[in-house]
Amino acid sequence: MASSEREFAIVVFGASGFTGQFVVREVAKNCKGKFKWAIAGRSKDKLEKVLQETASELGLFVGDVGIMVADCSDEASLSTMCSAARIILNCVGPYRFYGEPVVKAAVENGCHHLDISGEPEFLETMQHKYHNKAVCAGVHVVGTCGFDSIPADMGVVFTQESFPGELCHLESFLTLHSGPKGSKGHYGTYQSIIYGIASEREGNLKNLRKELFSKPMPKFGPKLARRSFISYSDEVQKWCIPFLGADPSVVRRTQRHNVEHPKFFSCGFFSHEGPTREQMAETSFSFVMKGAGYSKKAVQSGDAPAKPDCQIVTKVTGPEAGYIATPICMVQAAMVILEETLPNSGGVLTPAAAFTGTSLIDRLNENGVVFSVLSCKESGTY
């Protein structure tokens, strides 16, 4: 278990990377006067520059923030870093190539580990290899703690908790909004997406899932009809395509956990420079989730209709997804671990498996990632 007596509450690893710099700013805003924290990476000069820029931008004193030199290829440096921290916020990707040594060091040194990976093969490989070890160590290794996939995974939890009965299926619709200057992503994010898709094509993920999830999920209610590749959604009044990110696999892993534990190329969108501050300020996202199930009355009667009789529509909204919402989600998840008792004693978990029953949704609401109920209707068929 990560000791509260360690030198640092949080260490941001990969702090000088594009996304890491924004995570540093978010940690600085949340840790001031509360927790001692540090940043880590390969270059001390680059780390010092990040701290100077953070201090200048936020007007905060950062002279007491620690600096640690650590490298994914240097096991000893990772061990030193993890033994000094209660939580590692790992921003070094693609995780397929650089993630496992950090997870291994965290588990072996009793340190919690959060990442912002959107790579299903990496996430599920870590679950396969380190879940039992993390449970024994009493540490939480939680992947996809950014826009991938806290809004989606916790959005499902929010919808389930807001539903007046038993929810049996759910569809979600993601819309990314940009301003007149457009929006962009950084090359590092692009790499992670490409390698995540590649792992699906190579067949490794399919074999891994056969080992991890040998038992079929129980069925409840009618099966949700699969949409065509391009379909129109009345909920968002837009044409939609399937989401290619990690969210669907993360949500499926959460639902399996709940069962087992009842308590196209970028067309200029991605670049090495990433989005400008103006582009980020003008960009936002919204997830609309439409769920259907059986009302409390139908469940209590023991004679549920053939089709669901209750429908709910919820929404998760937030600022620019990759570099504003992602740090908010990651840092608020870390705050929950530092300040609350999680329902699980440890393990390699999805966000909802780790944070259901905590104040994470409330904290996100207070920091600009907002969960709301748009409508809830009973007495119909859906």
CB 38 within 8 A of CB 10: yes
Residue 6 DSSP class: S
Q: pLDDT at position 218, please?
A: 60
pLDDT value for 81:
99
Which residues on adjacent β-strands are paired with residue 12? 39, 89
CB 128 within 8 A of CB 99: no
Q: What is the DSSP letter of 5?
A: T
Q: Which residues contact 57 (CB under 8 A, 6 or more apart)?
A: 25
Query: What whole-number distance in Å separates Cα of residue 316 and Cα of residue 285?
Result: 8
> Which DSSP letter does residue 283 get?
-
pLDDT at position 306 is 74
Residue environment code for 77-112, b if the CB has 16+ CB neighbours within 10 A, otherwise e: bbbbbbbbbbbbbbbbbbbbebbbbbbbbbbbbbbb
Res 274: pLDDT = 76
Indicate the pTM of the whole model: 0.84
Task: Check if the beta carbon of residue 285 is closer than 8 Å to that of residue 151.
Answer: yes
Look at strands 284-295 and 165-177 and give their pairing: antiparallel
Name the amino acid, one letter, at 263.
K
pLDDT of 250 reads 62
DSSP 228-252: PSSEEETTTTEEE----SSHHHHHH
Which CATH code of 3.40.225.10, 3.40.50.2300, 3.30.1330.60, 3.40.50.720 fits the domain covering 8-142?
3.40.50.720
Burial of 355 (C-beta count, 10 Å sphere; 0-12/13-18/19+):
buried
What are the tokens at 363?
Answer: 């904290």
Domain spans of the chain? 8-142, 149-378
For the chain, counts of helices (H) and of strands (E): 15, 15
In the structure encoding, which two tokens stand for residue 87, read together?
A: 């939580």
Which pairing describes strands 140-142 and 347-349: parallel, antiparallel, or unpaired? parallel
Whether 292 and 382 have beta carbons less than 8 Å apart is answered as yes
Q: Which two tokens stand for residue 213?
A: 């999830």
Beta bridge partners of 135: none
The whole-number pLDDT of residue 140 equals 99
Q: How far is CA 146 from CA 118, 215, 247, 322, in A?
A: 9, 29, 11, 8
267 φ/ψ sector (left φ>0, alpha ψ -120 to 50, else beta): left
How many other C-beta atoms are found inside a 10 Å radius of the C-beta of residue 212?
A: 14
198 sits in the region (left: phi over 0; alpha: psi -120 to 50; else beta) called alpha
- Residuewise pLDDT in 10s, the chain (382 residues): 666 789 999 999 999 999 999 999 999 999 988 999 999 999 999 999 999 999 999 999 999 999 999 999 999 999 999 999 999 999 999 999 999 999 999 999 999 999 999 888 899 999 999 999 999 999 999 999 999 899 999 999 999 999 999 999 999 999 988 887 666 666 556 566 566 656 555 556 666 666 666 566 566 566 667 777 788 888 777 777 776 665 566 666 665 555 455 443 444 445 566 788 889 999 999 999 999 999 988 888 877 677 899 999 999 999 999 999 999 999 999 999 999 999 999 999 999 999 999 999 999 999 999 999 999 998 666 6
Helix (H) or strand (E) holding 289, with range, is strand 284-295
Percent helix, percent strand, percent coil in the chain, to nearest 5: 45, 25, 35
